[in-house]
Amino acid sequence: MSNEGHDSRETSTKVVGVRRLKEAMAKPASTRIFTVANQKGGVGKTTTTVNIAAALSMGGLRVLVIDLDPQGNASTALGVPHRDNAGIYEVLMGSAEIQTVIAKVAGFPVLDCIPSNTSLANAEINLVSMVARELQLKEALETISMNYDYIFIDCPPSLGLLTVNAFAAAKELLIPIQTEYYALEGLSQLLETYSVVKKRLNPTINLSTILLTMFDGRTRLANDVAANVRQHFPNELIDIPIPRAVRVSEAPSYNQTVMTYDPLSPGAIAYMQVAREIAERGKAKEEVIFDSNVVSINYKKDGEIA
User: What is the residue type of 40?
Assistant: K
From ligand ATP, Mg ion, none, which one binds at residue 249 (CB under 5 to 8 Å depending on kind)?
ligand ATP
Closest CB to ligand ATP among 42 and 217?
A: 42
Minimal distance, residue 74 CB to Mg ion, in Å: 7
The site for ligand ATP (CB under 6 A) is made up of: 41-47, 69, 71, 73, 157, 213-214, 242, 244-245, 248-249, 252, 267
* Minimal distance, residue 69 CB to ligand ATP, in Å: 5
Residue closer to Mg ion by CB (options 140, 155) is: 155
Q: What are phi and psi of 116, to 5 degrees?
A: -95, 170
Answer whether 98's CB lies under 8 Å from 276's CB: no
Output DSSP code: residue 119: G
Q: Which of 116, 118, 137, 117 shows the shortest CA–CA distance to 127?
A: 137
What does residue 213 show for φ and ψ, rounded to 5 degrees? -120, 160
Binding partner of 41, given Mg ion, ligand ATP, none, CB within 5-8 angstroms per partner class: ligand ATP
How far does Cα 56 stand from its chain's mean position?
A: 9
Which entry of Mg ion, ligand ATP, none binds 151, CB below 5 to 8 A by partner kind? none
Residue 263 interacts with, from Mg ion, ligand ATP, none (CB under 5-8 Å by kind) = none
Output the smallest distance, CB 36 to Mg ion, in A.
9
Buried b (16+ CB within 10 A) or exposed e, 289-304: eeeeeeeeeeeeeeee
Position 115: which residue type? Answer: P
73 binds Mg ion (CB under 5 A): yes
For residue 108, which of 176, 39, 53, 174 has the smallest C-alpha distance? 53
State yes or no: residue 46 binds Mg ion (CB under 5 A).
yes
- Closer residue to ligand ATP in complex, CB, 73/75: 73
Q: Applying CB under 5 A, which of residues 45, 62, 244, 276 lies at the interface with Mg ion?
A: 45
Size of the site for Mg ion (CB under 5 A): 3
Q: How far apart are CA 141 and CA 145, in angstroms?
A: 6
Nearer to Mg ion among residue 109 and residue 156 (C-beta): 156
Minimal distance, residue 296 CB to ligand ATP, in Å: 52
Give the nearer residue to ligand ATP in terms of CB position, either 202 or 213: 213
Shortest Å, Cβ 43 to Mg ion: 9
Partners of residue 112 on adjacent β-strands: 64, 104
Q: Which of 134, 154, 255 is nearest to 200 (CA)?
A: 134
Residues that bind Mg ion in the complex, under the rule CB under 5 A: 45-46, 73
